[in-house]
Chain A
Amino acid sequence: MKIQQISLFAENKPGHIAAPARLLAQEGIDIRSLYLADTQQYGILRMIVSEWEKAATILEAHGFVVKVTEVLAVEVPDRPGGLADVLSALDGTGINIEYMYAFPYMCRGQAILIFRFADPDAAIERLQTAGINLLASDELLKQ
């Protein structure tokens, strides 16, 4: 159920996102989602790509500092209250969301949110018990 996400350290300067994007393009790796968390000075570029191992190897070989983290892709009904329902499944469990962002494609008419949890295994168990669907990597990448 866990999805491998690639994170890069990037200085907040013109052109600093272009270099990794170009490298991945050259290797035919598809960036399925991209999210930039930034401060004034630097940012963290988080990506879900078609071939994460190859992407990490290529980026590291070109001197980028890369971290692979495990995230979950959670199906959220595309209606008012959809997100609230998912989050309320976590209420009182002590499961901490470190960050989240929206995946840009829909799946079976449902929205997809990417979550990074401090304890992904506990989150998987809890969400599945609450009947919330998690997407496996192959399902997510074919969207």
Chain B
Amino acid sequence: MNSTLEMSVTDCHAASVPDYTPVPELRKLQLKRLQAVVMRGWQQVKLFRARMDERRLTPEDVGSLEDIAKLPFTVKSDLRDTYPFGLFASPMKDVVRLHVSSGTTGKPIVVAYTKEDVDVWTSVLVRCLAGCGLHRGDIIQVAYGYGLFTGGLGAHYGAEGLGATVVPTSGGHADRQIMLMKDFGVTAICCTPTYFLHLIDRAAELGVDMKELPLRAGVFGAEPWTESMRQHIEKMSSIEAFDIYGLSEIIGPGVGCECRRHEGLHIFEDHFYPEIVDPASGEPLPDGTEGELVLTTLSKQAMPMIRYRTRDITMILPGRCECGRTLRRIGRIGRRSDDMLIIRGVNVFPSQVESALLQIEGTLPHYQILLTRVQGLDQMEVQVEVTPQMFNDKIGALQGLHERLQGALDRVLGIRVRVALVEAYSIERSEGKAKRVIDRRTS
């Protein structure tokens, strides 16, 4: 009797209702919100006003959703140039939270939230987690870093909002993460995919079989990861792995998330308006064409972002998802226009290296890309840690492995790279985003 009651309560979370808004109604809502956010930016944000003036535009020029293409872009350097509070559209007394982006390059960026913004953020995360099949009664371990990074607190509020039990472990302390996961009977985890790979490895070393644990779902984001990495994770841990997308500039995690069909990530379009543009020209591209994702926050109060260039390369998937959601989907983000490395004039993405390594051993060893310049010529070395599965005590077998890795990388990248087999644990482990590339080239 209890179980039927549970079913009716948990099947569809009330917060998920907007996921199924009929399309015409959704477009109407988007237009209304777009007009409001443009007005807000125009009235409150000096930089946006100046850019609108340059183009002789006023908020009245937005009469349809297509008119969004007339509006100026916002780029990451705008956030740096106006550091710390230059893009705020709310007075500080209405701002209840500040987050600071990790700023892998250069100065950090600051993002602000009003109470309403935090509520929207929580609601989209509830919708993400509900879409992953999670509900009240689940025990969710949040192993994203808590603090200035949006991952930890974002997922925390979402999981609590869902009514789940939250274990806020934050990042780090792998042994303790594994102990709590086992002792508490954790059913889902939120963290970066590379950190979860690290937990899988560590659990094996501690003699804990992840496949035996109640853990059934992982919601992984904050860095690009591949379909083959998903297969590896699911095989090693018997969980269902979901891709979640977000970025601090827009709101944090929860801009989009996979549903259980795993055919792209639904964008919570009632709050975030997606466009795909040509990364070079900025021209809008049709659905089904790969380009740079541009997002507009439709309801953000403290820091609206209008046509924010995410640098993430993906496409809007044509057609409707079979899950019934009316929300459009984007393809998995495998790469960022920022991640692209140019080696001797050839474009190389770290994700290509990953897929080559996976082809060989069927597992993903820890690896790092080291770039140097010798006599004006770029050199790329891929360091691969030798795992117990790969190790063989015959030199010939190791040389064979070395050659197979070399061959796969040459084929996938189309340039000659050096492969180095290195000792286990000699590459630094990430507690957050993996640092895959070390660039020692000095220009």
Contact = CB atoms under 8 A, between A and B. Distances in A.
A and B are partners in one complex rather than unrelated chains: yes
Interface of A: 5, 7, 9-11, 16, 37-39, 41-42, 44, 46, 60, 63-67, 69, 98-99, 116
Closest 6 CB pairs of A and B: A7-B393, A63-B425, A65-B391, A9-B386, A65-B424, A37-B395
A44 B395 contact: yes
Interface of B: 205, 386-388, 391-395, 398-399, 420-426
Contacts of A5: 393
A134 to B, nearest CB: 20
B307 to A, nearest CB: 48
Contacts of B393: 5, 7, 44, 46, 67, 69, 116
Contacts of B420: 41
Interface centre among A16, A41, A98 (most CB of B within 10 A): A41
A117 B423 CA distance: 26
A39 to B, nearest CB: 7
B401 to A, nearest CB: 11
A37 B425 CA distance: 22
Given A44-B398, A65-B386, A9 B391 contact: yes
A16 B398 contact: no
B421 A41 contact: yes
Contacts of B394: 44, 98-99
A11 B398 contact: no
B421 A42 contact: yes
A10 B399 CA distance: 14
A11 B427 CA distance: 13
Contacts of A16: 423
A7 B393 CA distance: 6
Contacts of B423: 9-11, 16, 63-65
Contacts of A64: 423-424
A11 B426 contact: yes
A51 to B, nearest CB: 19
B94 to A, nearest CB: 51
A41 B398 CA distance: 11
A39 B399 contact: yes
Contacts of B398: 9, 39, 42, 44
B386 A39 contact: no
Contacts of A9: 386, 391, 398, 421, 423-424
Given A11-B422, A16-B423, A41-B420, A67 B395 contact: no
A70 B425 CA distance: 26
6 contacts: A38-B395, A39-B399, A42-B386, A44-B398, A63-B423, A98-B394
A53 B387 CA distance: 20
Nearest to B423: A11
Contact of A39 (B387, B388, B395, B425): B395
Contacts of B421: 9, 11, 41-42
A60 B424 CA distance: 10
A65 B395 contact: no
Nearest to A68: B393
B246 to A, nearest CB: 34
Contacts of A46: 393
A114 B420 CA distance: 30
Contacts of A10: 423
Contacts of B388: 65-67
Contacts of B205: 60
Contacts of B395: 37-39, 44
A11 to B, nearest CB: 5
A69 B393 CA distance: 8
A64 B386 CA distance: 10
B343 to A, nearest CB: 21
Nearest to A118: B394
Nearest to A62: B425
A130 to B, nearest CB: 25
A64 B393 CA distance: 13
A60 B426 CA distance: 14
